[in-house]
Each structure stands twice: as structure tokens, then as C-alpha cells.
């Protein structure tokens, strides 16, 4: 189903706006940039997970007069990173709460001198008892964050009730319980974190960085340097991937570079190497989700009781909003009259967890979609049938009592997924062939949604502003703080502007992503760029065309030349050609933050994914051998980029499920190298088929909804469901490594032997 | 880059003699570097302790693959890219060509040399199991001359070997067998490419009437060094391939491997998987054996 349209640019596979520069090596990333007289910065980090700092010693064998040294006492403003809470220090002052926490910064004109200098700074600690897991934090025996009450160690909690859960257990035909766990995951953007800062008494502080959210950094720098908004400038340079990993961390790094620049009175560059980036920056929140579900004799859900716990690490960062999204995706795309969800984000003495593609949804979708597989087995229905019987449809309500007013086509998506994957035929074929082979094959599916845009009232608080202007040399510029980091922001926003203005894609460029130039269109997160920011650009474009018709004589059926001619006239009248629009919530959106009730998201992207796996009983390894995706994301703005998002998300989801394991030793990441933190290679990723259904969403740009996070949500449960189909073993934790499969199948064999004996 | 290039002394030499003279003159002072695929990783991580480095890259005496009537000789400076594409190696020593193709990335293979792979001494190295089953000999050279040893004796412990500080690996010599052999090589890595071995097994065998008349088995990542499995071979040689032989072979295998827990896997997993790979090899022998 392709939406009929007379669109010229939107929906076409335009080449990436910055693609040629990237391919030809002309794109300048942070480490490609130099400034006159630049020095290089490095960071002294904690080596214990929790303790008091007693003393800092500088080895006399180093000539410290050559270095600039910054510690907490040098901070002119507030020693905290301004995120949702202000609990995370910019530099540890008196106490450390996780390994690899920044304590001291040094800078030197010769970067080769930095490692030996770092090694010559010694810190004496009085160690304090560290809390290193959700379970330890839950005991509240040691309070490491918050008040010394029952609220201690809890960054955030939610409680959600729909209907009356307690009333139905007695009448349930089946009750299924399960506990599911997900691990930390590293983003592995190609380019590590890096920033350059410059300080000047008159103009204030300027930071160039590899980052997602220029205005988050801007806000944070204002607090650390105690400067007004106009004396802080943040410029995003070409950014080599982010996946959420450059949502909050760049605020810390920018402040570090800025503090050194202020003290050194010269530009400072800090670029992490991979080992430092892996050890010190955020990861995906580990989670534990418990489900207790009542089902009637026909396989319909009667009640869902869900308990979610996430590990937030040592500081609050984004844990509350990650937990919110985990909570709001925990029922899956199913309708159920009685729901209770409790969720908590716990503090531990590990590196703070942060944003990562999916933002809590992959965790809770893994749980519900593995759980539905167990429900199917208990009831005696096929994987597809149990889901079909419980899917949300138009007019149904979610856990927050949000009524599905937009079309929900889960049945269509499921039908198509079964068809393109030849699901039932493959399942029978594998069942027939598996006994003859040491390699057992299986097929599994997962159905899910991903809410587009900020949760609840988030977009209203953001109050984004975005627009376009026209330069004197006849280029339309898109004015946004939305950033390009490989996912296609530049391309889709210029496509949208070109479409709304009725001019060519090549006539539109992006304005520099510089807080001194562009308005605050919000952070580049939460699958909001296409839908929310894109819509602002569409409106700004239409508004400008209206203005040109009214004031500057633009006629119908205008050519590009006519357009720019009337821009000239418009400029003579108004001094500039600019059109900005501010966010307006879609009508009939209501959200109650207190009770977590109402329209959690203005729109949802929907999907059904199918994985085929091969489990080798010689090596106990599971591989994904084929993958099918069917999704409804509203209008597809650029089919090449959209397919790329899906394929990349699936690859990252395969890593999450089967390969990527963050190993800790006393809170320090042990495998902080790409040789030991195993992400799948091209050879480990199978062919991925991508199918879109398009139902344009009236309040998204030309009908677009969010797409970027959706593909990370479904692979892990689909893959583990397929493994269950292959070897009849139900695994409940990811990452699932060969060593885990080995333990299960050999201990099972051992038990069998003992039973026989 | 955590290493500081200024804290290292890196020199080129005019020829092999000059390199050997320097190694003899300042024993233990110099570390030879060819492709640098290990040393540069250590340098980047700031843990390269060797202060003096002498460049071996491109030394002509080390760079060739030579085929004679009886042997194939691989110079110590031959890269894995050369090995995986060499027609004689592909035809007569396919396990070595295959192992070469599994090493790191294409870029690694273009720089990494066979001597580097051996001298680095990692128990997880890809090439050694194949070399061991092909009865490789290793030829070492110093200013005093050369000596030739069975490669199976070369590694003496974790990153320990018979190489003296005055010596370099001149060549690896593989005797050319012309009879048909059953061959087996399987690497179990952390992923399909760019992977360090968790367990690997190489084997060659000949059999007549379901009895094994000649067998070589070697493994990676199951001991402190690349290991030829002598006891396992002995349990199988001249024995019929039946359940009791298989059971004795497995016992012998477990008596001579010493797997460990590390970042990549567990001792228990390795112990079981190496046995499973042996089973797979023996099953292959049984299937291929002319009756």
C-alpha cells in the first residue's frame, strides 16, 4: 500500500545532503579541526566505584608548570551537569560515585605528553561500600543516592493502574509468570566523543563538538560557567554517529574542555580514544522486568501485572524519561482491560546509563514479546495467533487509557510478515529437518509499537521553534538545532522544505548548527525529528509561500526563478526573508503527568519482525540467518534512508541480543576495546528485508511519524523466540552468548541423565 | 594514542646481516617489528614496554615462499595475504590458507607476518594449529648461523618459546605430502570475522579400513600455548573408529588441554567445545574412510 500523492521531493530517494563530502573525505569531524595555539586536554578518572577523595598527589618527576590543571575548585558557576536533575558533578569534589568519574583535567600543548602525566597523578581514597546491581540497590541497605528513606536509591518510580487487576486472577483460565533481563549496551558510534572549546572574556565560551543536542550543552555550560545565554555558543560539527550516546555526555565533555580553555586562555581540544570512551561514557540501562498475566480460555488477556526495574548508574541523567518510555511500552501492542505497572530506576555505583536508541522500549518490549511466547505455549496457540487475538485496534485504549484514534493496522502487518517470511512453511520445514542435523533452525516473531516524539507533555514543555530563511545568494536555509549524525536529518528536512516551498532539493541547504544562528528546535532524539521538527519546517515553508503571495507577488505555478525573484521583493519590504514556526500540539491531546494517564504519544509506529536463526549444537552458538521487517511509520520521506534506518537498527538489535556484553569488574568496564566488546560484523548480519506500509499521519511532516528507534525494539525478542522454536529452550536474558546456551543445554542433559539413573 | 612515539627508538637496517649483528651486540635490547599488527596495538594502548624497535618489514631474505621437491618454505616476513593467495599453499596446505583468511581484517592480513604470529606466542593465534598438523619445522637465524627445530617444540609456555634474543624466525618449512589426507579446521570465534579464537581445532588424518593410519591434531585457546594434541593422537592411531576409541580419545584430549576463563569465554565451554570439535573431525574421518 503506497499512499497516493503528488509530492515531488518527499518520498523520493534524494542523495544525502552531506553524503558527497563524507565519501570524498572532505567532511570535517572534530579531530580534523585545529585552532591557532591549541592545547590538548585529558582526564584523570576514579579507579574505585565509590569513596571519599582524601588527597591528590602530583608526582614531582613531571614538570607541572608546563601543564594547565583544573579541578572542581576552578569551576566559576555550579559544579553540576544540568540535565533533568542537577545531581551529577562536572568534576568530582570530595567523593566519587563510580569508576572512571572525572576528577582532574590537565592540558598540554603536546598531546603525546598527556598519558604519562595522567599516570603521574595519584589519588588517595577512603573507599565506601559500593552498590553494583539492581538487587543490591533494592535492599536499600546502603543508600548511595537520594534520601535515607524508602525513597533512597530511587531515581524515579511510576505506578499505573487501569481497570482492576486484583479482581481477575480467580477467574483466569491461565496465569503465566516470567522474569526477563536485558544487559547494558554500548553505542559504538564510529567517532568517539570529542570537543574543542575557546574562552574569551568578551564573547564568552564557544564549544565545537560531536553531539546531538546543542541546546542541552548550551544550558549546561551556562550553569557551569555562570554565563548568560548570549555568552555561550555551541556548534555541532560533523558527527560520526550517536545513537543516543551523544545526547547527554557532550554536556560533560564540553564543560571540561571549556574549563581548561578558560584557565589556559587558549583553545583546548579533548578527543577520547575508544578505551576511554567505552569506559567512561553512558550505556543502555540494564533492566529486569517481571510479568504476571491472566488469560481467559480463548487466549484473551484479562490482566497484566508488570514490574520494571532499571539500573541507572550513579547519577540521574535521563533515567526518569528512559523509565517512562520503558513503562509506556511494557504492555506491547495489546489491549487488556486490567493493567498494573510499577517501575523504578535504581541508582548503582556504575557509570551513569543514558539515552540509547529505543530509550527504554527495547528493554520492556524484549520482556513482553518473550512473555507472549510463553503465554502462547501455555494457552496452546501459535505465536501469531496469540498476538492476533490481543492486538490493539482503532478505538481500543492503551494502559494510559489513550484511545487509538489513528488507524492501527497490526493485523495487516502480521499478515504481511507471515507472508514475506513464509512463516508457517518455514516452521514446519525446520521441525522436519532439525532432527537430522546438528544445526537446529527456528523462526520467531515479535510485534511492537514505538511512540513517536517526546512522551506525554514533553513536546509542549520543549516548545520548539524552527523555520527557514533565504540568503541573498538565493539559497533556502533550514534553521533548526536538529543535528545530522548519520541518520539523515539534513536530507529529510531539506526535502520537506523543498516540497513545502515548491522548489528543488538542490536549492535548499542546512544552516550551520550553531546556537548563535539557529533557533531551538529541541534535541535530536525520541524519533521526533521527522514528525515534529519536520512538521515545523513544512508549516514554515507554507507560511513563507503565503507571505510571498500576499506581499511579493508570487503567482500560481511559479518556477524556482519566480520564487527567488519574489524573495528579493520580500526582502526589500521586510529586511529579511525568514519564516519560523513554533510547536503546536495536535488537537485533543491530553496528558496527566500525575497519574500517567492520557495521550502518551501523538502517534505510534507499528511493526512485526520475523527472525530466522540457526543454533549449532557443536558450538552452542546462535546466528541470525534471515530477517524480515514489516512496519508502518506514516509517510516514508526518503526510502533509501528509511530502509537504512531499519537495516541498521536490526543489526544493532542483533548485537543487543546475541553479541554485545559489557563486562564489569568492581564497576569498571573490563572489555573496553572493540576486540573484546563484540559487536556483530557484516558477516554476522543476515539479509534483512524491509517492507513499509504507509498511512500518513496528519500531524507529522507530509504524514511522517518516527522511524529511527523502532527497528531496535523488535530484533531481540524475535531472535530469542526463534531460538526457542529451534531448540525448545526458553531463554529470558540478553545478551545470550554461546556460553549461556552451553550451560543450559548441558545442565539439562545432565538433569536428564540423573532422572534416568 | 596512549603511547608516546618519542619514548621509543625505531630504526631501519640496511640488510638482514646488519639486523642480526645488532641483535647480537645488544642482546635483549631490541624488539623486531615487521607488520606491527600486535606492537602498534600495544603502543596505541600505552602498554608497549619495548623501547628499541628494529624494522623487519620488507627484508628480502624473509619475504618469499619457496617450493622445492620436498618442502614448501615460508619466509618469516611473508604476510597472511601472501599465504592465503599462494597457489601451492591453497592446493597442498589448504588449512593454512584457510587459517590465514580468518586472521583479523584484510588490512591486518596485508601487514601481519607469519613470524610475527608465531613469535607473539598467543595461544589463540590462528596459524599455529594448521602449522602443527602439517609437521612444520621452524628455522631460526642469528649472527652465528641457523638452526632448525620441530615447530611443535617451539612454544614452551605462555608467550614463552625457544627463540633467543639474538634470533629471528627465518622460515617455516612444511614437508610436502602427496597422499590424500582427510583434513579438518574449525575456528570458534566470538563472531564470524575480526574475531579472536575461543577454541579452534585442526586435524589431518589418513585411514584404511576404518582404522587411522596417520593422524595429527592441534588446537588453539585450550592451553597456555598453541598445542599439538599428542595424547589424543596416540589414543586414535591404528585404532578402529568405534565408541570405545572415541571415548578414550576424549579422555586423552581432556588430559592434555588446560583451558581457562577469560574475557572471551569460559574454561568449561572450551573444554566441551574442543571435545565436540574432535567428535566432528572423527565423524568426518569415519565418513571419508574407504572401507
Would you call A680 and B280 a contact, using CB atoms and an 8 Å cutoff?
no
Instruction: Kindly state whether residues A539 and A674 are assigned to the same domain.
Output: no
Write out chain B residues lying below 8 Å of A673, CB-based: 45
Tell me which DSSP letter residue A621 carries: E
Instruction: Kindly state whether residues A198 and A241 are assigned to the same domain.
Output: yes
Would you call A659 and B191 a contact, using CB atoms and an 8 Å cutoff?
yes
A742 touches B: beta carbon within 8 Å:
yes
pLDDT, one tens digit per residue, over A205-243 is 999 999 999 999 999 999 999 999 999 999 999 999 999
Write out chain A residues lying below 8 Å of B7, CB-based: 116
Distance CA A547, CA A545 (A): 5
Residue A161 covered by a domain: no
Instruction: Kindly state whether residues A634 and A734 are assigned to the same domain.
Output: yes
Domain boundary (A218, A239, A271) is at A271
Per-residue pLDDT averaged across A640-652, rounded?
98
A115 touches B: beta carbon within 8 Å:
yes
Say yes or no to pLDDT of A735 above 60.
yes
Residue of A nearest to B199 (CA): A619
Q: Mean pLDDT across chain A, nearest whole number?
A: 96
Would you call A675 and B196 a contact, using CB atoms and an 8 Å cutoff?
yes
Would you call B4 and A112 a contact, using CB atoms and an 8 Å cutoff?
yes
Query: Chain-centre distance of CA A382, in angstroms?
Result: 32
Would you call A682 and B263 a contact, using CB atoms and an 8 Å cutoff?
no
What number is the ipTM of this complex?
0.96
Residue A45 covered by a domain: yes
B2–chain A nearest CA distance, Å: 6
Would you call B194 and A676 a contact, using CB atoms and an 8 Å cutoff?
no
A549–chain B nearest CA distance, Å: 58
Residue of B nearest to A115 (CA): B2
Would you call A739 and B263 a contact, using CB atoms and an 8 Å cutoff?
no
Q: DSSP string of A81-112?
A: --SSS--S-SS--SEE-STT-EEEEEEES-GG
Is A284 exposed, middle or buried, given 0-12, 13-18 or 19+ CB atoms closer than 10 A? buried
Residue A142 covered by a domain: no
Write out chain B residues lying below 8 Å of A618, CB-based: 273, 276-277, 279-280
Say yes or no to pLDDT of A273 above 80.
yes
Domain boundary (A211, A243, A271) is at A271
Instruction: Kindly state whether residues A7 and A39 are assigned to the same domain.
Output: no
Task: Please count the other Cβ atoms lying within 10 Å of the Cβ belonging to residue A164.
Answer: 11
Tell me which DSSP letter residue B171 carries: E
pLDDT < 50 stretches in chain B: none
Instruction: Kindly state whether residues A571 and A601 are assigned to the same domain.
Output: no
A537–chain B nearest CA distance, Å: 43
A177 touches B: beta carbon within 8 Å:
no
pLDDT, one tens digit per residue, over A348-390 is 999 999 999 999 999 999 999 999 999 999 999 999 999 999 9
A681 touches B: beta carbon within 8 Å:
yes
B94–chain A nearest CA distance, Å: 22
Distance CA B256, CA B266 (A): 17
What confidence score (pLDDT) does residue B288 get? 86
Contact A98, A49 (CB under 8 A): yes
What confidence score (pLDDT) does residue B210 get? 79
Residue A696 covered by a domain: yes
B189–chain A nearest CA distance, Å: 10
Q: Which residues pair with B178 in a beta bridge?
A: none
Closest Cβ opposite residue B4 in set A115, A679, A742 = A115
Domain boundary (A271, A296, A325) is at A271
Instruction: Kindly state whether residues A506 and A423 are assigned to the same domain.
Output: no
Per-residue pLDDT averaged across A559-581, rounded?
97
Residue of B nearest to A275 (CA): B45
What is the number of domains present in chain A?
3
Contact A704, A536 (CB under 8 A): no
A751 pLDDT tier (thresholds 50, 70, 90): low
Q: Which of A99, A93, A100, A123 is nearest to A49 (CA)?
A: A99
Closest Cβ opposite residue B272 in set A112, A676, A746 = A746
Q: What is the CATH classification number for the domain harbouring A513?
A: 3.30.365.10
Lay out the sheet containing A287-295: strands in order across.
Answer: A154-162, A338-347, A301-313, A287-295, A174-182, A733-734
Under DSSP, is residue B147 helix (H, G, I), strand (E, B) or coil? strand
Question: Who contacts B118 (Cβ-Cβ below 8 Å, separation ≥6)?
Answer: B125, B127, B128, B131, B138, B151, B154, B161, B169, B172
**The pTM is what?**
0.97
Instruction: Kindly state whether residues A308 and A231 are assigned to the same domain.
Output: no
Tell me which DSSP letter residue B71 carries: E
Contact A684, A659 (CB under 8 A): yes
pLDDT, one tens digit per residue, over A500-537 is 999 999 999 999 999 999 999 999 998 899 999 999 99
What confidence score (pLDDT) does residue A756 get? 43
**Phi (first) and psi of residue A625, to 5 degrees:** -105, -15
Per-residue pLDDT averaged across A636-664, rounded?
98
In this predicted structure, which of A161-175, A509-523, A737-751 has the lowest mean pLDDT?
A737-751
Angle between helices A361-379 and A319-328 (to 10 degrees): 30
Peptide bond preceding A735 in cis form (omega within 30 of 0): yes
Q: Which of B56, B182, B197 is nearest to B127 (CA)?
A: B197
Task: Please count the other Cβ atoms lying within 10 Å of the Cβ belonging to residue A184.
Answer: 24
B72–chain A nearest CA distance, Å: 32
Q: Which residues pair with A178 in a beta bridge?
A: A291
Closest Cβ opposite residue B276 in set A618, A671, A739 = A618
Q: Which domain holds residue A264?
A: 33-128+193-271
User: What are the CA-CA distances from residue B277 to residues B136, B200, B220, B248 (Å)?
Assistant: 22, 8, 12, 15
Distance CA A525, CA A213 (A): 8
Instruction: Kindly state whether residues A445 and A477 are assigned to the same domain.
Output: no
Q: Which residues pair with A293 in a beta bridge?
A: A176, A304
Instruction: Kindly state whether residues A608 and A708 are assigned to the same domain.
Output: yes
Query: Chain-centre distance of CA A618, in angstroms?
Result: 36
Question: Who contacts A576 (Cβ-Cβ below 8 Å, separation ≥6)?
Answer: A469
Q: Which stretches of B29-177 are assigned E, i.e. beta strand?
A: 30-33, 52-55, 65-67, 71-75, 137-142, 145-150, 155-157, 160-161, 168-175
Write out chain B residues lying below 8 Å of A657, CB-based: none
Say yes or no to pLDDT of A1 above 50.
no
A273 touches B: beta carbon within 8 Å:
yes
Q: What is the CATH classification number for the domain harbouring A258?
A: 3.90.1170.50
Instruction: Kindly state whether residues A530 and A644 are assigned to the same domain.
Output: no
Q: DSSP string of B48-70?
A: ----EEEE-TT-GGGS-EEE-SS
Closest Cβ opposite residue A676 in set B1, B2, B263 = B263
What confidence score (pLDDT) does residue A757 get? 38
What confidence score (pLDDT) does residue A2 get? 43
Residue A156 covered by a domain: no
What confidence score (pLDDT) does residue B1 get? 82
Residue of B nearest to A682 (CA): B193
Residue A661 covered by a domain: yes
Of B126, B192, B196, which to mutate for an interface test with A (greatest number of A Cβ within 10 Å)? Answer: B192
Write out chain B residues lying below 8 Å of A670, CB-based: 263
Q: Which of A307, A339, A313 is nearest to A326 (CA)?
A: A307
Angle between helices A361-379 and A715-727 (to 10 degrees): 30
Say yes or no to pLDDT of A579 above 70.
yes
Say yes or no to pLDDT of A16 above 90.
yes
User: What are the CA-CA distances from residue A239 to residues A190, A194, A353, B107, B228 (Å)?
Assistant: 9, 10, 21, 25, 49
Would you call B46 and A115 a contact, using CB atoms and an 8 Å cutoff?
yes
Closest Cβ opposite residue B191 in set A670, A680, A746 = A680
User: What are the CA-CA distances from residue B276 to residues A32, B126, B222 (Å)?
Assistant: 50, 19, 13
Q: Which of A345, A578, A315, A384 is nearest to A466 (CA)?
A: A578
Residue of B nearest to A658 (CA): B191
Tell me which DSSP letter residue A499 carries: H
Residue of A nearest to B47 (CA): A115
A748 touches B: beta carbon within 8 Å:
no
Instruction: Kindly state whether residues A317 and A440 are assigned to the same domain.
Output: yes
Residue A187 covered by a domain: no
Q: DSSP string of A573-598?
A: HHSSEEEEEE--PPTT--EETTTTEE
C-alpha cell at position A663: 563486562
Instruction: Kindly state whether residues A331 and A427 are assigned to the same domain.
Output: yes
Residue of B nearest to A678 (CA): B190
Residue A159 covered by a domain: no
B199–chain A nearest CA distance, Å: 9
% of chain A at pLDDT higher than 70? 98
C-alpha cell at position A150: 524508602
Amino acid at each position: 500500500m503506497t499512499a497516493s500523492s503528488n509530492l515531488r521531493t518527499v518520498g523520493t530517494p534524494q542523495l544525502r545532503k552531506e553524503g558527497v563530502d563524507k565519501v570524498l573525505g572532505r567532511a570535517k569531524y572534530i579531530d580534523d579541526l585545529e585552532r591557532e595555539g591549541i592545547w590538548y586536554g585529558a582526564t584523570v578518572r576514579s579507579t574505585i566505584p565509590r569513596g571519599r577523595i582524601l588527597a591528590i598527589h602530583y608526582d614531582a618527576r613531571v614538570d607541572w608548570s608546563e601543564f594547565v590543571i583544573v579541578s572542581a575548585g576552578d569551576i566559576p558557576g555550579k559544579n553540576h551537569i544540568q540535565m533533568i536533575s542537577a545531581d551529577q558533578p562536572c568534576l568530582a569534589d570530595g567523593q566519587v560515585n563510580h569508576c572512571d568519574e572525572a576528577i582532574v583535567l590537565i592540558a598540554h600543548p603536546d598531546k603525546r605528553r598527556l598519558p604519562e602525566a595522567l599516570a603521574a597523578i595519584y589519588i588517595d581514597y577512603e573507599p565506601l561500600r559500593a552498590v553494583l546491581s539492581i538487587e543490591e540497590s533494592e535492599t536499600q541497605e546502603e543508600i548511595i543516592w537520594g534520601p535515607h528513606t524508602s525513597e533512597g536509591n530511587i531515581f524515579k518510580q511510576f505506578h499505573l493502574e487501569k481497570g482492576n487487576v486484583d479482581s481477575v486472577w480467580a477467574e483466569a483460565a491461565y496465569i503465566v509468570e516470567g522474569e526477563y533481563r536485558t544487559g547494558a549496551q554500548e553505542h559504538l558510534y564510529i567517532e568517539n566523543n570529542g570537543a574543542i572549546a575557546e574562552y574569551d572574556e568578551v564573547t564568552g565560551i564557544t564549544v565545537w563538538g560531536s553531539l546531538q543536542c546543542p541546546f542541552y550543552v548550551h544550558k549546561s555550560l551556562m550553569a557551569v560557567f555562570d554565563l548568560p545565554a548570549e555568552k555561550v555558543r555551541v556548534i555541532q560539527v560533523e558527527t560520526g554517529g550517536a545513537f543516543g550516546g551523544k545526547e547527554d555526555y557532550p554536556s560533560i565533555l564540553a564543560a571540561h574542555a571549556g574549563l581548561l580553555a578558560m584557565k589556559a586562555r587558549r583553545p583546548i581540544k579533548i578527543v577520547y580514544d575508544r578505551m576511554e570512551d567505552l569506559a567512561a561514557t553512558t550505556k543502555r540501562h540494564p533492566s529486569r522486568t517481571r510479568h504476571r498475566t491472566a488469560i481467559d480460555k480463548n487466549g484473551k488477556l484479562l490482566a497484566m501485572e508488570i514490574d520494571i526495574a532499571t539500573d541507572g548508574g550513579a547519577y540521574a541523567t535521563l533515567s526518569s524519561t528512559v523509565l517512562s518510555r520503558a513503562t509506556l511500552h511494557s504492555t506491547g501492542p495489546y489491549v487488556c482491560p486490567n493493567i498494573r505497572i510499577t517501575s523504578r530506576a535504581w541508582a548503582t555505583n556504575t557509570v551513569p546509563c543514558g539515552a540509547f536508541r529505543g530509550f527504554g522500549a527495547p528493554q520492556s518490549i524484549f520482556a513482553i514479546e518473550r512473555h507472549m511466547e510463553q503465554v502462547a505455549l501455555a494457552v496452546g496457540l501459535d505465536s501469531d495467533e496469540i498476538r492476533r487475538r490481543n492486538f490493539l485496534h482503532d478505538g481500543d485504549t492503551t494502559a494510559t487509557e489513550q484511545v487509538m484514534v489513528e488507524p492501527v493496522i497490526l493485523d495487516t502487518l502480521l499478515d504481511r510478515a507471515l507472508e514475506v517470511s513464509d512463516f508457517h512453511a518455514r516452521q514446519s520445514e525446520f521441525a522436519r529437518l532439525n532432527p537430522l542435523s546438528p544445526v537446529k533452525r527456528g523462526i520467531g516473531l515479535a510485534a511492537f509499537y514505538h511512540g513517536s516524539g517526546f512522551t506525554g507533555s514533553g513536546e509542549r514543555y520543549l516548545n520548539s521553534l524552527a523555520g527557514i530563511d533565504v540568503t541573498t545568494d538565493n539559497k533556502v536555509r533550514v534553521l533548526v538545532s536538529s543535528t545530522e549524525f548519520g541518520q539523515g536529518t539534513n536530507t529529510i528536512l531539506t526535502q520537506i522544505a523543498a516540497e513545502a516551498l515548491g522548489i528543488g532539493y538542490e536549492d535548499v541547504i542546512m544552516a550551520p548548527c550553531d546556537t548563535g544562528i539557529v533557533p531551538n528546535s529541541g534535541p535530536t532524539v525520541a524519533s521526533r525529528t521527522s514528525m515534529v521538527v519536520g512538521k515545523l519546517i513544512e508549516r514554515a515553508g507554507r507560511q513563507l509561500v503565503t507571505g510571498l503571495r500576499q506581499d511579493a507577488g508570487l503567482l500560481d505555478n511559479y518556477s524556482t526563478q519566480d520564487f527567488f525573484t519574489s524573495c528579493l521583493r520580500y526582502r526589500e519590504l521586510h529586511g529579511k526573508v525568514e519564516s519560523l514556526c513554533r510547536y503546536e500540539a495536535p488537537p485533543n491531546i491530553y496528558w496527566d503527568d500525575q497519574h500517567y494517564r492520557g495521550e502518551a504519544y501523538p502517534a505510534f509506529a507499528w511493526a512485526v519482525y520475523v527472525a530466522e536463526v540457526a543454533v549449532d549444537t557443536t558450538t552452542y552458538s546462535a546466528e541470525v540467518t534471515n530477517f524480515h521487517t514489516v512496519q508502518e511509520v506514516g509517510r516514508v520521506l526518503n526510502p533509501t534512508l528509511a530502509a537504512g534506518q531499519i537495516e541498521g537498527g536490526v543489526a544493532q538489535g542483533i548485537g543487543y541480543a546475541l553479541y554485545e556484553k559489557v563486562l564489569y569488574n568492581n564497576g569498571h568496564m573490563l572489555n573496553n576495546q572493540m576486540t573484546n566488546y563484540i559487536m556483530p560484523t557484516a558477516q554476522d548480519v543476515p539479509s534483512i528485508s524491509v517492507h513499509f506500509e504507509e498511512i500518513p499521519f496528519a500531524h507529522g511532516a507530509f504524514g511522517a511519524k518516527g522511524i529511527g528507534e523502532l527497528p531496535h525494539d523488535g530484533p531481540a525478542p524475535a531472535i530469542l523466540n526463534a531460538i526457542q522454536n529451534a531448540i525448545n529452550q526458553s531463554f529470558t536474558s540478553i545478551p545470550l552468548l554461546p556460553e549461556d546456551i552451553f550451560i543450559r543445554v548441558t545442565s539439562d542433559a545432565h538433569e536428564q541423565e540423573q532422572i534416568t539413573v | 594514542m596512549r603511547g608516546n612515539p618519542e619514548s621509543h627508538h625505531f630504526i631501519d637496517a640496511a640488510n638482514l646481516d646488519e639486523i642480526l649483528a645488532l641483535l647480537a651486540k645488544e642482546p635483549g635490547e631490541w624488539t623486531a617489528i615487521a607488520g606491527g599488527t600486535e606492537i602498534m596495538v600495544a603502543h596505541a594502548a600505552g602498554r608497549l614496554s619495548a623501547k628499541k624497535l628494529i624494522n623487519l618489514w620488507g627484508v628480502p631474505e624473509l619475504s618469499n615462499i619457496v617450493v622445492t621437491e620436498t618442502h614448501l618454505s615460508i619466509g618469516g616476513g611473508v604476510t597472511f595475504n601472501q599465504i592465503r593467495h599462494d597457489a601451492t599453499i591453497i592446493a597442498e596446505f589448504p588449512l593454512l590458507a584457510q587459517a590465514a583468511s580468518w586472521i583479523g581484517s584484510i588490512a591486518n592480513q596485508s601487514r601481519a607476518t607469519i613470524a610475527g604470529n608465531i613469535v607473539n606466542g598467543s595461544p589463540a593465534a590462528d596459524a599455529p594449529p594448521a602449522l602443527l598438523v602439517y609437521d612444520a619445522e621452524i628455522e631460526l637465524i642469528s649472527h652465528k648461523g641457523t638452526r632448525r627445530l620441530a615447530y611443535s617444540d617451539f612454544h614452551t609456555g605462555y608467550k614463552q618459546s625457544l627463540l633467543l634474543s639474538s634470533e629471528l624466525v627465518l622460515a617455516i618449512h612444511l614437508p610436502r605430502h602427496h597422499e590424500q589426507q582427510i583434513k579438518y579446521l574449525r575456528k570458534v570465534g566470538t563472531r564470524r570475522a575480526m574475531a579472536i579464537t575461543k577454541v579452534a581445532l585442526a586435524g589431518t588424518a589418513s585411514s584404511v579400513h576404518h582404522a587411522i593410519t596417520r593422524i595429527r591434531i592441534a588446537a588453539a585457546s585450550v592451553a597456555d600455548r598453541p598445542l599439538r594434541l599428542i595424547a589424543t593422537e596416540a589414543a586414535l592411531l591404528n585404532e578402529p573408529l568405534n565408541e570405545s576409541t572415541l571415548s578414550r580419545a576424549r579422555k586423552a584430549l581432556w588430559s592434555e588441554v588446560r583451558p581457562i576463563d577469560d574475557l572471551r569465554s569460559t574454561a568449561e565451554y572450551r573444554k566441551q567445545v574442543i571435545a565436540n570439535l574432535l567428535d566432528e573431525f572423527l565423524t568426518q574421518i569415519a565418513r571419508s574412510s574407504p572401507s
